[in-house]
Structure 1
Amino acid sequence: MALILCALRVLLGVFFVLTGAAKLLQVSAPVSQQMKALFEQFAEVFPLKLFGYQPDPINYQTAVGWLELLAGLLLVTGPPVLRELGNLLLILLMMGAIFTLVVLRESLRTYIPAVVCLGLLLLLDTFQFLARTKEVVPPGALSNPGT
């Protein structure tokens, strides 16, 4: 089970490192233009817009790219505490992505990557929590000594 969790953590980390790098680097003109147009839409429905803050689409794209890149690196190479932090940041990012897609009323098929990533991140977080709990509470420690 530990090997499967490690593989899942590394695969998710590498995936987010690559997606973050794609947002930061100008890969090709058509891809860059498409990503710029997407982040212009995303900036229009940014959750803090209700409080008067609307990010610049380019800065928004850059911030999301760095967040994905750094959290993905933490997930792959960080010590356990930083892995958990990276996982939490990515969970929050995926929740924000799903919120954005709901508000934009995108088709259900555009939700699939964010929902799958969120599900895998939550699965990883749950199993890491259970593994940590198992280490803290040894088997039989909660059994009733009087029976």
Structure 2
Amino acid sequence: MADVLSILIGLMFTCTGCLLLFGSSISADVDDQLTQDFKRFITVMPLREMFPWRITSMNYRTMAGVLQLSSALLLLLTSGVLSTIANMVLMVVMGVAMYSHWAVGDEINKLVPALICFSLLMIRLFLHLRHMPKDKKD
């Protein structure tokens, strides 16, 4: 079951990562909406002041897309520790997405997709960790 869930989640985040990275080539309307959203999200980005350089909304969007696409590919192509790390990275990305929607005052319907993705990632992590071989103690 965890393998099927890994494939579905991997394909979903591959699509969303590509949309964030190559949105202008896919649909102008979607790209405009994403651009507007990330301009609002950058104002509430967690730990923004911690970075020594200025992060623009486009950099933030690119960073989210790269994290989603690379983690999705790791989920699809690897197993074990790498897929667990990719799962946790995606959970953090979805946590930041939920926080961003909440912090800018979006309605609940904008927050629900990130919440569903986060929940699927939690289920996948639980199933994966549950089926890991246990170390035998001598």
TM-score, scaled to structure 1: 0.84
User: Residue by residue, what CA displacement relative to the aligned partner does 1:3-40 show, whole Å, maximum 9, x if unpaired?
Assistant: x2111110000000110001111212222111111110
CA drift at 1:51? 4.4
Note the 1:73-84 alignment, pairs <5 A.
73-84=73-84
Aligned length: 134
Taking structure 2 as the reference length, the TM-score comes to 0.89
Is the 8 Å Cα contact of residues 71 and 90 (structure 1) preserved in structure 2?
A: yes
Whole-Å separation in 2 of the counterparts to 1:86 and 1:73: 9
Q: Do the aligned partners of 1:19 and 1:68 also contact (CA within 8 Å) in 2?
A: yes
CA distance in structure 2 between the partners assigned to 1:120 and 1:127 by the alignment: 11
| Greater relative contact order (Cα < 8 A, sep 6+) | 2
User: Residue deviations 1:70-103, cap 9 Å, x none?
Assistant: 0001011113211111101001101111111111
Q: Which runs of 5+ in 1 are unaligned?
A: 142-147
Superposed displacement of residue 130, structure 1: 1.2
1:8-27 alignment to 2 at 5 Å?
Answer: 8-25=5-22, 26=24, 27=26
Is the Cα contact below 8 Å between 1:46 and 1:55 reproduced in 2? no
1:66 aligns with 2:66: yes
Q: Which amino acid aligns with 2:121?
A: L
| Bigger Rg over Cα | 1
Name 1:30's counterpart in structure 2. Answer: 29
Partner of 1:5: 2
Q: How does 1:97-116 map to 2 (within 5 A)?
A: 97-116=97-116
For residue 47 of structure 2, give the secondary structure of its aligned residue in structure 1.
helix
Question: Cα offset for 1:49?
Answer: 3.2
The whole-number CA distance in structure 2 between the counterparts of 1:52 and 1:9 is 32
Partner of 1:42: 41
RMSD: 1.8
Q: Which residue of 1 aligns with 2:91?
A: 91
1:137 positional shift: 5.2
Question: Using a 3 Å threshold, how does the CA distance of structure 1 residues 47 and 81 change in structure 2: closer, same or farther?
Answer: same
Unaligned 5+ segments in structure 2 are none
